[in-house]
Amino acid sequence: MKVTFLPLTVDAARRIGARPLLDQAVRTDRAAAECWTALLAGCGNAARRDLGPQLRRLSEATSMQVGSRWWFAEGAGHRKRVAGAQENLEEAIADGDGQEFALAFVGYDHAMASAVVCANSVQARKVGEHRA
C-alpha cells in the first residue's frame, strides 16, 4: 500500500500494531489525495469539504491509541502541535492553495507520527523507570 500524504503516521501506526489508527490514517491519506487533485484542478468539490472531518477522525483515532490521559497530560504539547497543523491544513484547503496544502501536510504528518511514537515509547517504559 502506497501512501502519499501520511507516510510517517502510517508507518508509526503499522510499527506499533495499531490497526484502527492505521485504517483511519489510510482513509485520511486517500481523502488528502482526492483533495489535492481538487486543489490542483481548481475545483470546489466534495473532496475539499470531506478532508476536514477525516482529519478530525484521525486526531480522534490518535487520541484513542495514545490514551486520553497521556494526550491531555504529558502529550499535551503533541496534541497542540497536531491541532495547529490541522488548522494550517484547513486554512490551505479554504484558500485553495496547493503549495500551502503540501507544506501543511508535511507538518501534520510529522506531528501525528511524533505523537504516536512518543506515546508508545512512554507506554513501553517500566513502572518507576525515568527518562534519561
pLDDT recorded at residue 76: 95
Q: What is the pLDDT at residue 131?
A: 44
Report, as ranges of residue numbers, the positions in the chain whose pLDDT lies below 70. 1, 122-132
Round the average pLDDT of the chain to a whole number and report it. Answer: 88
b/e 65-83 (16+ beta carbons within 10 angstroms → b): bbeeebbeeebeebbebbe
C-alpha cell at 12: 508509526
Q: Where are the domains of the chain?
A: 7-130
Residue pLDDT, tens place only, 55-73: 999 999 999 999 999 999 9
The confidence score (pLDDT) of residue 122 equals 63
